Structure 1
Amino acid sequence: MERSHDWHGDALDLSAYLERIGLSGDRAGEHAPTLDTLRALQRAHVTAIPFENLEIILGRSIPLDLPSLQDKLVRRRRGGYCYEHAILFAAALERLGFGVVGLHGRVTLGATSPRPATHALLHVTVPGLDGAWLCDVGFGSGPLEPLELKDGLEADQDGWRFRLERRTAELDTGLWTLHQLDPEGWIDRHTFTVHPQYLIDYVVGSHFVATSPRSPFTTRPFAQRFTGSEHHVLDGLTWTTTLPDGSRSVQELKPDQVPDVLDDVFDISLSPDDRDRLRS
């Protein structure tokens, strides 16, 4: 019988996944479920696998089963958006012995009206340790390492700064907000609760993101590459590079430049046919 939270970690090609994110060792025993391992895994994952919505723009669906995710993000060395990242990372953590529960967030970025819950996050526990950690591997801009779920926690990760706050919302529920520091000050990045979400919830959220005309990902190419020292964003034809101190450069591309920039900067290599379709 399938467990309520079953990320199918036993079906993960752990060796291939670890090679994809640049970590040595191909057996679970070489990566014991410790806090240090969790930190190393998240840092490796977010800096190795880019964020991208290109399948949507190319007219293809986004399957969330583990074999499809392994084929795309691991074997073909492509990227994905939050649901793809979270499910793959959850499978790896489950395989290594961590406790993993899915969460849903609402991307706010300063918005005052409610937005749909369409951002996948993970609530992670470490055997033998009290507390829980937020693993947000699919936003495209960090955090580099897990954030312990503590009200008022602030973290400086290689110059990128984050803060967690908890308040009481409707029906006395606990509402968490993840803030990120930018040149204008702290901005609320997304809110979330610790209400468990299951794979089927992610399938529903992903369908909206991939198909709705109200989704920002159905209108133009969008990709991110977070190296730890730089954050690259391709939004349509606009390529922005941001450094930890908030300084940034912006370059407007021509359509025929996009495939090469995706390859050279974002580490996203497309087939010749897909490259031609993005140029048009």
Structure 2
Amino acid sequence: MDEGSATHMNLAYDWSGDLLDLDAYLERIGYHGERAPTLDALRGLQRAHVTSIPFENLDPVLGVPVLLDLASVQGKLVRGGRGGYCFEHVTLFAAALERLGFRFTAMSGRVTLGSPKILPATHALLAVTAADDERLWLCDVGFGCGPLEPIELADGTEAEFDGWGFRLERRPGAQGFDDWWLHQRRDNGWLDRHTFTLNPQYPIDYVVGSHYVSTHPRSPFVQRPFVQQFSADRHHRLDATTWTTFRPDGSYTERKIAPDDLGRVLAEDFGITVSAEDLARLRDGLDRT
């Protein structure tokens, strides 16, 4: 293989960690721990990321293209006062892990939430190895409601973080590719959240998946605002005008917001800043739902 071909092949695996403004990212998520590829750092980075950068799909609702080049992602999620959905979160987190020296595999999952149907693989997540620990860890930073920390990627693993419970299960799959299932504990038992395989994905695969969920007319992400903000003690979810707050013990409260309150709720409770023009368009859409 000549030098040009080798360079081209390497770019397919590149998550642009060298282009990340690491100081700005770590300041954005409020992480002040060690900058080394250790398990403690991985735990701290995931907890800081998932509790600082919200989940939101406002650009697809507005018809604005979702770009996954690192400059665009960090311009929006790090500097722009915005959140994003899983492909944006994982692109940013992967760049940080690459920059810090972690080894990882990007993967795609299928969101299930109890559905018997086979849905498209449109969820992004990572399997990560730390330099001081030989185990494989699932880092799911883009779902909008945790986990707060990585979960050991092993059959039967159960993990609890500040009262939020999770369980991993491996099931035999076709052609030797086992299916992994992530379950989340709810007040009435375990709910299967998504399934995935360890088949590696690359940046271009996320571009394809992101294009589908952000543009296809049947994608729920283009139909209404869906926003989440997560912390150790509560999970806020805004689905159109329905605002639900979940607690680790399974309890929850639900309320309706008026379209005129959308800007205040996004800014004060979800940490998202949108322009006056975009806010007006979002409110108009809520009035028609």
Q: TM-score range by the shorter chain?
A: over 0.9
Q: TM-score, normalising length from structure 1?
A: 0.96
Partner of 1:109: 113
- Report the aligned-residue RMSD: 1.0
Q: Does 1:208 align with 2:216?
A: no
Percent identity over paired residues:
60
Q: Does 1:52 align with 2:60?
A: no
Structure 1 residue 128, shift from structure 2 partner: 3.9
**Equivalent residues in 2 for 1:126-275, closer than 5 Å:** 126-275=130-279
Partner of 2:18: 10
Q: What amino acid is the match of 1:221? A: P
Structure 1 residue 125, shift from structure 2 partner: 1.0
Structure 1 residue 257, shift from structure 2 partner: 1.1
Partner of 1:120: helix, strand, or coil?
Answer: strand
Partner of 1:100: helix, strand, or coil?
Answer: strand
Measured in 2, the distance between the counterparts of 1:128 and 1:244 equals 31
Q: Which runs of 5+ in 2 are unaligned?
A: 1-6, 285-289
Partner of 1:37: 41
Q: What amino acid is the match of 1:114? A: I
On the 8 A contact 1:5/1:101 being kept in 2, the answer is no
On the 8 A contact 2:67/2:73 being kept in 1, the answer is yes
Q: What amino acid is the match of 1:276? A: A
On the 8 A contact 1:152/1:164 being kept in 2, the answer is yes
Structure 1 residue 94, shift from structure 2 partner: 0.5
Q: TM-score, normalising length from structure 2?
A: 0.93
Measured in 2, the distance between the counterparts of 1:19 and 1:128 equals 25
Measured in 1, the distance between the counterparts of 2:109 and 2:260 equals 35
On the 8 A contact 2:15/2:91 being kept in 1, the answer is yes
Partner of 1:82: 86
On the 8 A contact 2:170/2:181 being kept in 1, the answer is yes
Structure 1 residue runs of 4+, over 4 Å off? none
Measured in 2, the distance between the counterparts of 1:219 and 1:121 equals 24
Structure 1 residue 253, shift from structure 2 partner: 1.2
Partner of 2:103: 99
Q: Does 1:120 align with 2:128?
A: no
Measured in 2, the distance between the counterparts of 1:14 and 1:149 equals 27
Measured in 2, the distance between the counterparts of 1:77 and 1:45 equals 14
Measured in 1, the distance between the counterparts of 2:222 and 2:200 equals 27
Partner of 1:132: helix, strand, or coil?
Answer: strand
Measured in 1, the distance between the counterparts of 2:87 and 2:63 equals 18
Measured in 2, the distance between the counterparts of 1:68 and 1:210 equals 16
Q: What amino acid is the match of 2:45? A: L
Q: What amino acid is the match of 1:136? A: D
Q: What amino acid is the match of 1:139? A: F
Structure 1 residue 121, shift from structure 2 partner: 0.5
Structure 1 residue 127, shift from structure 2 partner: 1.6
Measured in 1, the distance between the counterparts of 2:217 and 2:249 equals 35
On the 8 A contact 2:55/2:83 being kept in 1, the answer is yes
On the 8 A contact 2:39/2:132 being kept in 1, the answer is no
